[in-house]
Structure 1
Amino acid sequence: MVINSLCKELASPDQIRVYAERYIKARIVQGAHENHRRAEIEARIAAIIEDNDRLLDLLKAGKGDQDAADARMKAQGKERDELKQELARREATSSCTRQPSRHLPTS
């Protein structure tokens, strides 16, 4: 049933071309979103590391509230680990784009 309706939708080279163009555009948009999210995650991980280093330096110097710094570092460590897991799940997007429509005969 699905195959039959797909065959009807893609019955002509023009319909296939439109489908391919829409597919490629959607993949580009999705890739841009993935790249943006990866950059956000990487920036947040870097900020967490920087803040934890700053807190550790304060504690080494005998400044600041140790309990508060410890709680904050633990919370940020948990967030960092979750972000690293999310980053690992996200597939790196390729800069190569497939162009299936270029192989179609021109009418």
Structure 2
Amino acid sequence: MSKRSETVDTIVSKAQSDSDFRQALLSDPAAAVSKELGAEWPSDVSLRVVEETPQEVYIVLPPAPKGDGELSDDQLASVAGGGSHHTDCSWGATCGMGSIIGDC
């Protein structure tokens, strides 16, 4: 499981068991997450929290792949060599919470 998935699971679990946190999360997601995780949410990364209902279901799509889906020579070399250098981060360019929301 990725760090991002673990973080989301932690936030959802807390929201399921703590109604005050749930309301804070719906009112001001960045502030609620920052307080819960003890790290400031990056100001250049938008955070949206929505609550499903029996009549409304959400599917979250990851960012569309860049280019034609082919790996560049550098990306291919990194994968082939077992490296883990990331040049792109789906949580924003600065990854201010990289250690909490994903490794960039």
TM-score (norm 2): 0.24
More helix by share: 1
**Based on CA coordinates, which of the two structures has the bigger radius of gyration?**
1
